[in-house]
């Protein structure tokens, strides 16, 4: 008997390398609800959409440093890989597409925070931490309201 192996769709690069592509991010694929706290090991692609949007919008701004290009350099992307990725179609935006790349399938909140610190994008890190704290406070309030009923 052979075991069934789930595979991800693939895509080819200019060098005919085949890489695995993850399914698109959708609001239905998020496991973090308004009523649950966000742990440090939460996958970034599972965060609430408004939090992902915060990071995406800041990293897509063309600044002298601390953009998505510097982020992928921290993950050992070379110039060719970055160039090819940049010139693909990104329906929702580059950061959203980045989260579907194989190297970012296990990208969690703790790693994102470390990367933002080293970029340095402490402005994004500050806003991210504030949003997550607010989310977690709301989740705790909702849980305590439900437990008193």
Mean pLDDT by 10 residues, the chain (149 residues): 40 49 45 75 96 94 82 97 96 95 97 97 96 93 74
CATH code of the domain occupying 31-147: 1.10.533
The CA distance from 53 to 89, in Å, is: 18
The CA distance from 24 to 30, in Å, is: 11
The per-residue b/e assignment along 43-54, b for 16 or more CB within 10 angstroms, e otherwise, is: bbbbbbeebbeb
Domain boundaries, given as residue ranges, for the chain: 31-147
Tokens describing residue 98? 């980045």
DSSP labels, 102-129: GGGTT-BHHHHHHHHHHTT-HHHHHHHH
Q: What is the pLDDT of residue 141?
A: 85
């Amino acid at each position: 008997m052979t075991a069934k192996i789930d595979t991800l769709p693939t895509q080819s690069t200019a060098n005919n390398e085949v890489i695995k592509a993850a399914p698109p991010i959708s609001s239905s694929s998020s496991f973090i609800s308004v009523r649950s706290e966000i742990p440090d090991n939460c996958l970034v692609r599972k965060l609430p959409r408004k939090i992902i949007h915060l990071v995406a919008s800041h990293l897509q701004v063309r600044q002298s440093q601390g953009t998505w290009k510097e982020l992928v350099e921290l993950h050992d992307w070379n110039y060719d890989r970055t160039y090819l990725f940049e010139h693909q179609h990104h329906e929702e935006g580059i950061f959203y597409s980045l989260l579907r790349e194989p190297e970012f399938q296990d990208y969690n909140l703790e790693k994102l925070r470390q990367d933002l610190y080293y970029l340095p994008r402490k402005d994004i890190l500050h806003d991210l931490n504030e949003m997550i704290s607010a989310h977690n406070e709301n989740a705790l309030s909702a849980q305590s309201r439900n437990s008193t009923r």
